[in-house]
């Protein structure tokens, strides 16, 4: 069902709604007369807040409920933070559009008692809050003298926990803080040499039904080709390694002339082993660059590390 109306499925978290309202407003601007409705709902990932994400073991924690709405024709599109969207989508659905990326970097947010510090100047034993195995593994690799503590909840809830003194700092996505008007809370952006970001971080992915040409035509007005090329390379890299968003896989992508350069990382949970390399190739075939990098890291031992991680975080039967 498309044409003069468009139905959007979205998570109901504050950040998700900010992102969805941005998509709605941009589509309304691009297609005058288009009537857009939003159906907001809680996903499994929003409901389970007392268990670390990695322990739940589901790659579609923040997407399944939204996808179900499209599959039963109760919604035409779903708006996702692209880093939350699995690389293998349900039959009948597709990634229809990738929007222009915000800064994909990880951000350091400090408790006020450490104002002015950087990661490398925080005192030994500082408690670092993160729910991401990717951030955890990389930071353990570079800063083994810190304590790491899981933190769940939406961004506002996490900041409240930080401000209460439960953590010395948090590691959050710079893009999410910026979209929520909380960019002033960022004390420093973490250099890619320390923490490669998540696949797709900073971009929005708009999912739709395969073959829904009218909807595809509508949402393509938001497509940002440079971001799309970078993210397609990143997603191909992740897909080839068979990892979801809750494994220690990080990336960084950039353009150099007419080439796309993709850096990738796989680390063990304890941070002791970290494999990192890069591949470059022509812009016209970004997925081939991602596949090539995945094969390169596998040849260096990434497969063995990932098998250990999958076994460690796989939920008990």
Name the active-site residue from 50, 76, 84, 270. 84
84 as an active site residue: the answer is yes
Cα separation, 273 vs 250, whole angstroms: 14
| pLDDT tens per residue, range 118-135 | 999 999 999 999 989 999
Q: Which pLDDT belongs to residue 41? A: 86
| DSSP-assigned letter for residue 126 | -
| pLDDT tens per residue, range 63-117 | 888 999 999 999 999 999 999 899 999 999 999 999 999 999 999 999 999 999 9
List of domains in the chain: 1-99+203-223 (3.40.190.10), 106-189 (3.40.190.10), 225-317 (3.30.160.40)
Element (H, E) at 216: helix 213-219
Cα separation, 279 vs 265, whole angstroms: 12
| pLDDT tens per residue, range 126-171 | 999 998 999 999 999 999 999 999 998 889 999 999 999 999 999 9
The beta strands (E) that lie in the chain are given as 5-11, 35-41, 77-81, 93-98, 106-110, 127-129, 147-149, 169-173, 188-189, 204-209, 249-256, 259-267, 274-282
- Residue 215: C-alpha distances to residues 73, 183, 234 (Å): 13, 33, 25
Residue among 150, 162, 179 nearest 14 (CA): 179
Q: What is the pTM of this model?
A: 0.90
List the structure tokens of 73: 């024709």
**32 phi and psi, to 5 degrees?**
-55, 135
Q: Which pLDDT belongs to residue 1? A: 38
- Residue 35: C-alpha distances to residues 110, 112, 132 (Å): 43, 45, 37
């Amino acid at each position: 069902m498309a044409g003069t109306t468009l139905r959007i499925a979205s998570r109901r978290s504050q950040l998700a709604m900010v992102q969805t309202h941005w998509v709605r407003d941009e589509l309304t601007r691009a297609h005058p007369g288009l009537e857009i409705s939003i159906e907001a709902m809680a996903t499994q990932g929003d409901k389970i807040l007392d268990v670390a994400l990695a322990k739940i073991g589901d790659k579609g924690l923040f997407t399944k409920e939204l996808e179900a709405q499209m599959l039963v024709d109760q919604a035409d599109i779903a708006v996702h933070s692209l880093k939350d969207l699995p690389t293998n989508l349900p039959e009948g659905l597709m990634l229809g559009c990738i929007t222009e990326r915000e800064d994909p970097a990880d951000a350091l947010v400090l408790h006020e008692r450490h104002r002015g510090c950087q990661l490398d100047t925080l005192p030994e034993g500082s408690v670092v809050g993160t729910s991401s195995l990717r951030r955890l593994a990389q930071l353990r690799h570079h800063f083994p003298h810190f304590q790491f503590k899981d933190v769940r909840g939406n961004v506002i809830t996490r900041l409240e926990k930080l401000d209460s003194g439960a953590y010395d700092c948090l590691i959050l996505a710079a893009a999410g803080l910026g979209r929520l008007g909380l960019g002033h809370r960022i004390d420093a952006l973490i250099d890619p040499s320390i923490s490669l970001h998540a696949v797709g971080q900073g971009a929005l992915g708009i999912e739709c039904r395969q073959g829904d040409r009218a909807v595809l035509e509508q949402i393509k007005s938001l497509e940002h080709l440079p971001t799309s090329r970078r993210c397609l390379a990143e997603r191909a890299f992740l897909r080839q390694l068979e990892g979801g968003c809750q494994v220690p896989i990080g990336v960084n992508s950039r353009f150099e002339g007419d080439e796309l350069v993709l850096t990738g990382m796989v680390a063990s949970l304890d941070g002791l082993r970290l494999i990192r390399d890069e591949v470059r190739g022509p812009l016209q075939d970004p997925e081939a660059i991602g596949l090539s990098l995945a094969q390169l890291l596998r040849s260096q031992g990434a497969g063995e590390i990932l098998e250990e991680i999958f076994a460690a975080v796989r939920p008990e039967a």
